[in-house]
Amino acid sequence: MAIGSTEMMIVMQESATPEDVERILELLESAGARGHVSTSDLVTVIGIAGERDVIAGLPLEAYPGVDKVLPILRPYKLVSREFRRSDTVITLGETCLGGGHIALIAGPCSVESRAQLLEAASIAKEGGATMLRGGAFKPRTSPYAFQGLGVEGLEILAEARGQSGLPVVTELMDPRHLEVVAEYSDVIQIGARNMQNFQLLSAVGQVENPVLLKRGLAATIDELLMAAEYIVREGNDRVILCERGIRTFETATRNTLDISAVPIIKQRSHLPVVVDPSHAAGKVDLVEPLSLAALVAGADGLMIEMHPTPETALSDGVQSLDPRQFAAVAARIKDVIAWMGKSLG
């Protein structure tokens, strides 16, 4: 925002009508400000962004249907708990994520072949997964490593969705691929390396697909929430935040899983939070304990790498569960979800 700008929210009365809300939006637009409406079962809130002097001069509280006008204190506005008190719930067909609904997202790091992915989808479905993950476009540290099958991989993912009934999560790396990725996938993933690719974030903010936003390797929680704000301010409020481990001085694991990020984000934002124990640990034997810890900490879902034959995987085989391991871990996950009084999917 420019110097002299401010962000506030208008809390509407319970009896406010759609016409009352529209009247406020028209007033804001005529003053050069911007309004963003959030409606829950309890209340309708209008977030405002604009020049402080202009907003201060508007007789907002005198308008029909307005209860009160309050400042939003955090640097991120639309994703904050101040703006929306109730949890955001992401719905994909019969699958839900957030608000007590736990997602189990499973599948290989990369789509390597039709046979490999269809088998992985069958294993994920049988184990109780609610979504299927798989990368068609893969960001790799080495330019010589496997980079994914591209559009062919997306077509295979769509076929696997058709056979398994599982919604598909896949990564977007380049705004030029947005249209085709949005067409073939259900959830668009923005990887850790692109968390602050603001052009990419703004682009996915203009589609309807939910966006799974991974925390950057050295990003703070507030930086993650500000990245989410780029998406939501463009109109797409179906954002899922993902804690996948951050880079620290510790070498015992691939990254350091920040379990504390889960309750902190839940305090500060209404967006759902999932945890990726596979990338955090980098080791198969740590996936189960980190998954269970994440659930108890309040995570709305888990994103686990699983491969039919990890020893042949073209990427991340060392951290991918095999079918037997996945079935065992998924069973423990379901037990903990039931113990917590929540539901899977």
The CATH number of whichever domain residue 158 belongs to comes to 3.20.20.70
Residue 84 lies in a domain: no
Nearest to 186 by CA among 204, 205, 161, 163: 161
What's the domain range around 59? 5-71
> Is there a single domain that holds both residue 23 and residue 114?
no
252 and 197 within one domain: yes
Residue-wise pLDDT tens digits, 239-251: 999 999 999 999 9
In a domain, 82, yes or no: no
Contact 216, 223 (CB under 8 A): yes
**Are residues 226 and 334 both part of a single domain?**
yes
- Give the model's pLDDT for residue 147: 79
Of 109, 104, 145, which Cα lies nearest the Cα of 126?
104
How far apart CA 67 and CA 61 sit, in angstroms, is 7
Task: Give, rounded to a whole angstrom, the gap between the first and last alpha carbons of the chain.
Answer: 38
Structural domain contains residue 249: yes
Clarify whether residues 303 and 335 are in a common domain. Answer: yes
pLDDT tier at 265, thresholds 50, 70, 90: very high
Q: How many domains does the chain have?
A: 2
Residue 6: pLDDT band with limits 50, 70, 90: low
**334 in a structural domain:** yes
Residues 125 and 212 in one domain: yes
Residue 140 and residue 151: Cα distance in Å, rounded?
18
- What pLDDT does 43 receive? 77
Whether the pLDDT of residue 255 is over 60: the answer is yes
Residue 36 belongs to domain with CATH number: 3.30.70.1140
Separation CA 84–CA 272 (nearest Å): 13
In this structure, the answer to whether residues 61 and 98 fall within a common structural domain is no
What angle in degrees, to the nearest 10, is found between the helix axes of 287-297 and 261-268? 30
331 within domain boundaries: yes
Which H helix or E strand runs over 279?
helix 277-281
Q: 76 lies in a domain?
A: no
Regarding whether 136 and 55 lie in a shared domain, the answer is no
